[in-house]
Amino acid sequence: MSSMTSDVIYLDHAATTPLRPEARAEMEPFLGRDFGNPSALYGLARRSSEAIDSARASIAKVLGCRPADIVLTSGGTESNNEAIKGVSLAQQLAGSGRHVITSRVEHHAVLHSCEFLEKFGFEITYLDVDRDGFIDLDDLGRALRPDTVLVTIMLANNEVGTIQPIAEAARIVREASARLGKTIPFHTDAVQAAGYLDLDVGDLGVDMLSLSAHKFGGPKGAGILFIRRRVPFLPLLSGGGQERRRRAGTEDVAGIVGAAIALEASERERPAAGAHAATLRDRLVHAVPRAVQGAELNGHPAMRLPNNTNFSFPGVEGDALVAALDQAGFAVGSGSACGSGSWEPSHVLLAMGVSLERAAGALRITVGRDTTPGDIEALLDHLPNVVARVRAELVPA
Ligand SMILES: Cc1ncc(COP(=O)(O)O)c(C=O)c1O
């Protein structure tokens, strides 16, 4: 059983990950002794500002960018909001247009930011995806217009793990920018990719990239936004001059330090972590459809994050299955969005053409660095009975 979680086998690493001990250790002084406000001018405060400088430098190293291009935020949600609203509104002010391109399978932090812009007169193009969740690059090329001001497409999907062809997409947008004689910044939500995919912004060719620390062993409430120099940007938070006037507010020093340590460690361990996760994922992809009658994988078997699986179990409700598995000692993700308590089928699965019944019975199983082969075998031992029990409850004899 996983060392970090002794009373439950934790298989929901796409939702969040346990704090890495090395991140916690580095954060500790800033939760106590070193409490100075980084903007103040005495020695105590300098310890905080130097810690932020060094965290920013180490984050920039992983992303292959200048430290000055990093904005430290409160998480993936804020990074996406800042990128999408901050750039679109600045572009509108400059008279560049009001058209934004995204995809149908983005996280709600992206989709709802786009809906917010629609209320202010923006037009949004939502790119369709195929059965495996991939956008079509030709669709992207056709969607670009003289009034396009931003393209935002995620690097890896949080529900089905699909990895989008971001470098190619960014190239298409760059070429269109040159042809149209304007700046169309390309943003990618890389929240699920950290620790598994290359985050080098030069390799990806992106102008903005969002990360959330708790998805890679850092603390909750700490995020990262890369913004390339000269991208038009209107800060959303007004106040002090922190983060080079791009994000006001006294910095969460401990969170920033924890995020940087966790990102550095995740990047260092990336090859081994990917191989470890892929072995466990492939075992699930092979065994679950054989263990449970009717179970089907959603998304491509291999072209997905190494730690992600998503299965549909027709005849059950995903949420009921999550609850039954919880009782059996397993924490897994529901394949549907139920943020506000009301059940909604996953917009990602529906966009992929999955039927309502299959979308209703979806389950996301995501492994992490502490997951062992024994954890996976234990789940495979329990799953057939748990599914049978939930199915029997739905259809009383
Ligand atoms: C792809 C993606 N983007 C953005 C977010 C939002 O991150 P946070 O909840 O840390 O703000 C998440 C978290 O679930 C995510 O998976």
Which atom of ligand 1 has the smallest separation from the CA of 156? 1
Average pLDDT for 2-21: 86
Residue 7's pLDDT is: 85
Average pLDDT for 131-138: 98
Average pLDDT for 23-33: 98
Residue 338's pLDDT is: 53
Residue 211's pLDDT is: 98
Say how many Å lie between the CA of residue 107 and the centre of ligand 1: 7
The dihedral over CA atoms of 156, 207, 83, 184, expressed in degrees to the nearest 10, equals -110
Query: Ligand 1 pocket test: which of 163, 215, 334 has the largest number of ligand atoms within 8 Å of its C-beta?
Result: 215
Express each pLDDT in 159-173 by its tens digit: 999 999 999 999 999
Query: Ligand 1 pocket test: which of 72, 77, 82 has the largest number of ligand atoms within 8 Å of its C-beta?
Result: 77
Say how many Å lie between the CA of residue 185 and the centre of ligand 1: 21
Nearest to 86 by CA among 246, 248, 249: 246
Residue 344's pLDDT is: 84
Say how many Å lie between the CA of residue 168 and the centre of ligand 1: 23
Residue 3's pLDDT is: 46
pLDDT for residue 1 is more than 70: no
pLDDT for residue 5 is more than 90: no
List of domains in the chain: 9-19+270-394 (3.90.1150.10), 34-268 (3.40.640.10)
Average pLDDT for 324-353: 86
Say how many Å lie between the CA of residue 242 and the centre of ligand 1: 24
> What amino acid positions are annotated as catalytic residues?
338
Beta carbons within 8 Å of 193's beta carbon, 6+ residues apart: 155, 156, 163, 199, 305
Percentage above 90 pLDDT, the chain: 93
| Ligand 1 proximal residues by C-beta, below 6 Å | 75-77, 80, 107, 109, 154, 158, 189, 191-192, 212, 214
Which atom of ligand 1 has the smallest separation from the CA of 79? 11
Say how many Å lie between the CA of residue 60 and the centre of ligand 1: 20
Pairwise CA distance, residues 98 & 108, whole Å:
20
Pairwise CA distance, residues 105 & 130, whole Å:
11
Beta carbons within 8 Å of 239's beta carbon, 6+ residues apart: 248, 249
Beta carbons within 8 Å of 191's beta carbon, 6+ residues apart: 76, 107, 154, 158, 210, 211, 212, 215
Query: Ligand 1 pocket test: which of 16, 103, 107, 160 has the largest number of ligand atoms within 8 Å of its C-beta?
Result: 107
Pairwise CA distance, residues 125 & 47, whole Å:
46
